[in-house]
């Protein structure tokens, strides 16, 4: 019989031994062309779905829902459940829950450039400041911990300064992260970040995030304010100046009149402005007042401004709230009283943790703010009776709040508030020298006419307990809120008006 044709491709006797002399054909027979990674991933997902038991597929009834419908269901969940249990159900729920997140605080900078745009694509509020801080390499059990808001820093006592520039990311790393944010989140509304010395990343933010409304910028300098001025729609701005003692920067690395002037000519829609550790003076504040006509709230914290800056507040034609926080000095030389001017639209003056021992400075401050309807003094040092008597210049005060004024006496309080005919609300908390037994007849009659009273000068005060059940301090609360425009603002930040008379 003739032997089978083993050399013919596809012959009846074809088997593996027939390819011994054909290296290329043997390679095609023994191996397959590798698939692209995307197709391999699809095949693995399909295999896992096939391996799923029928009862498991029946239990997961959300597989029948589309992504759009499931997003509408997840949007009804409150924020703790959305970010907690709901995002841990499965990978699909994690991906959809990430699309619903609008606010996030990043603590790892590598997450910004790699996973942030894919994990949370619809962010509107982004805080990058904690991620820009590098922890010290050597940490001992005795190292002190500095906590400010949501950020906790471990100080290194062996370094001068303990929070030097080496504890922040390099400028090129910060710029690359900000550039990635600008390219991935064009609809960002609020951003908290650390400024780099070259400001390349901030230029990308100004060009990519055109709808940014609120910005908090740390380690800021005059050079960093140039790209910030390109944000024409910015309404809320918080500037933390680069202090040489804290950040290890050069002596000229802070915010001066030059930066404030550049900022004022660019961000003309500012409504709220907070300056922390700035070194401006009359020229910088005057430029802000002239250019930012919509400015309603100005907060100055731990300033290093030159003498005479108080007189520039008169240029803020629409200012309603002036807040001074942590200022060891306000203005050592405010100038002649006739050159100070006044903020005619001012409604609220708030002094928090300030040193009030300079009579001339405090007199100038009350002259500028003589039209204020709210006066709030909290944990300020040096406010004696003679110093508090200067508050009588503000004759239109309707709401007075005193907290932590340990040097003020009952007599000093009475001399001022009995001269105010428009006073409607009074709060006295933790003022140890204000005593119940020193309340005069005129002061008690004033208490009976107030629409709201919170009297807790010390732990031994019995006036609040004696007023319990009488209704004093509770009547007219709605009218009081309507008359005092800034009442809700103070309520949200510092006060609690839900109880009326303190227990």
What does the pLDDT look like over 462-490, one tens digit per residue? 665 555 555 554 544 444 444 444 444 43
Average pLDDT, rounded, for the chain:
77
Question: Is residue 133 domain-resident?
Answer: no
Please name every residue paired with 272 in a beta bridge, in sequence order, or none if there are none: 236, 297
Helices (H) then strands (E): counts for the chain: 21, 15
Question: 404 in a domain, yes or no?
Answer: yes
DSSP label of 496: -
- pTM reported for the whole predicted model: 0.74
Name which residue leads in pLDDT, 184 or 9. Answer: 184
What is the spatial distance between Cα 502 and Cα 453, in angstroms, rounded to a whole number? 8
Q: How many CB atoms lie within 10 A of CB 256?
A: 22
Q: Is 50 exceeded by the pLDDT of residue 9?
A: no
Instruction: Say yes or no to pLDDT of 168 above 70.
Output: yes
| Mean pLDDT, residues 135-158 taken together | 62
Torsion sign across C-alpha atoms 394, 316, 304, 231: positive
How confident is the model over 336-355, as pLDDT tens digits?
888 888 888 999 999 999 99
Q: Is the dihedral of CA 70, 73, 75, 78 positive or negative?
A: negative
DSSP state at residue 370? T
Residue range 269-313, pLDDT digits in tens: 999 999 998 988 999 999 999 999 999 999 999 988 999 999 999
Write the DSSP symbol of residue 2.
Answer: P
Collapse the DSSP code of 398 into the 3-class scheme (helix H, G, I; strand E, B; otherwise coil) and give the result.
Answer: coil
For residue 209, tell me if it sits in a domain.
no
d(CA 328, CA 489): 25
pLDDT at 453 over 50: yes
Q: State residue 29's pLDDT score.
A: 43
CA angle 427, 431, 432 (to 5 degrees): 145
Higher pLDDT, 487 or 103: 103
CA distance 449 to 416: 16
- Region of 106 (left: φ > 0; alpha: ψ -120 to 50; beta: rest) is beta
Q: Are 369 and 394 in contact (CB under 8 A)?
A: yes
On whether the CB atoms of residues 398 and 426 are closer than 8 A, the answer is: no
Indicate whether 254 belongs to any domain: no
Q: Does residue 84 form part of some domain?
A: yes
Tell me whether residue 431 is in a domain.
Answer: yes
Structure tokens at 473: 């301090």
Q: What is the reported pLDDT for 93?
A: 66
Contact between 451 and 479 under an 8 Å Cβ cutoff? The reply is yes
Task: For residue range 179-199, list pLDDT tens digits in order.
Answer: 999 998 888 999 999 988 777
Per-residue confidence band for 26, with pLDDT thresholds at 50, 70 and 90: very low
Tell me if 432 is assigned to some domain. yes
Q: Residue 403 above 90 pLDDT?
A: yes
Q: How far is CA 430 from CA 166, 203, 471, in A?
A: 42, 48, 23
Number of domains in the chain: 2
Mean pLDDT of 34-58: 60
Q: Which of 409, 349, 407 is nearest to 381 (CA)?
A: 407
Q: Which of 331, 184, 337, 165 is nearest to 250 (CA)?
A: 165
Which tops the pLDDT comparison, 474 or 450? 450
**Average pLDDT, integer, range 13-32:** 44
**What is the extent of the structural domain holding 494?**
373-503
d(C-alpha 295, C-alpha 278), whole Å? 18
Q: Which of 98, 116, 149 finishes a domain? A: 98
Q: Is 113 a member of any domain?
A: no
- The per-residue DSSP string of 166-219 comes to GGB--HHHHHHHHHHHHHH-TT--EEEEE--SS-HHHHHHHHH-TT--EEEEEE
């Amino acid at each position: 019989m003739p032997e089978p044709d083993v050399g013919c491709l596809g012959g009846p006797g074809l088997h593996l031994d027939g390819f011994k002399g054909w290296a290329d054909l043997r390679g095609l027979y023994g191996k397959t062309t590798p698939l692209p990674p995307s197709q391999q991933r699809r095949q693995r997902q399909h295999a896992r779905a096939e391996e799923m038991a029928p009862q498991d597929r029946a239990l997961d009834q959300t597989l029948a829902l589309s992504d759009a419908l499931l997003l509408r269901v997840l949007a009804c969940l409150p924020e703790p459940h959305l970010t907690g249990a709901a995002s841990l159900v499965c990978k699909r729920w994690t991906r959809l829950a990430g699309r619903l997140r609008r606010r996030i605080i990043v603590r790892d900078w590598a997450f910004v450039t790699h996973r942030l745009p894919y994990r949370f694509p619809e962010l509107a509020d982004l805080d990058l400041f904690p991620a820009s801080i590098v922890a010290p390499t050597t940490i001992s059990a005795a190292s002190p911990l500095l906590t400010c808001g949501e950020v906790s820093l471990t100080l290194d006592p062996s370094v001068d300064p303990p929070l030097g520039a080496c504890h922040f990311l390099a400028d090129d790393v910060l710029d690359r992260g900000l550039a990635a944010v600008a390219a991935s989140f064009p609809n960002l509304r609020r951003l908290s970040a650390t400024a780099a010395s070259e400001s390349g990343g901030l230029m990308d933010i100004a060009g990519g995030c055109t709808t940014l409304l609120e910005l908090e910028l740390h380690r800021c300098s005059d050079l960093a304010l140039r790209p910030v001025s390109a944000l024409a729609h910015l309404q809320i701005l918080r500037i933390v100046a680069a202090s040489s003692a804290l950040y290890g920067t050069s002596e000229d690395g802070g915010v001066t009149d030059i930066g404030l002037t550049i900022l004022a000519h660019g961000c003309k829609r500012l409504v709220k402005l907070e300056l922390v550790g700035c070194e401006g003076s009359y020229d910088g504040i005057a430029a802000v007042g002239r250019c930012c006509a919509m400015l309603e709230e100005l907060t100055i914290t731990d300033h290093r401004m030159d003498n005479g800056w108080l007189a520039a507040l008169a240029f803020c034609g629409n200012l309603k709230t002036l807040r001074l926080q942590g200022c060891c000095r306000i203005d050592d030389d405010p100038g002649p009283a006739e050159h100070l001017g006044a903020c005619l639209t001012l409604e609220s003056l708030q002094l928090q943790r300030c040193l009030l021992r300079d009579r001339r400075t405090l007199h100038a401050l009350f002259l500028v703010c003589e039209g204020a309807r709210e006066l709030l003094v909290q944990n300020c040092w040096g406010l004696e009776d003679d110093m508090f008597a200067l508050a009588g210049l503000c004759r239109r005060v309707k709401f007075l709040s005193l907290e932590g004024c340990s040097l003020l006496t009952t007599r000093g309080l009475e001399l001022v508030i009995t001269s105010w005919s428009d006073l409607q609300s009074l709060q006295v908390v933790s003022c140890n020298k204000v005593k119940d037994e020193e309340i005069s007849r005129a002061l008690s009659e004033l208490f009976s006419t107030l629409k709201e009273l919170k009297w807790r000068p010390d732990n031994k005060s019995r006036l609040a307990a004696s007023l319990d059940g009488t209704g004093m301090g509770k009547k007219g609360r709605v009218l009081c809120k309507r008359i005092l425009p800034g009442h809700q603002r103070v309520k949200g930040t510092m006060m609690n008006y839900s109880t009326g008379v303190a227990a």
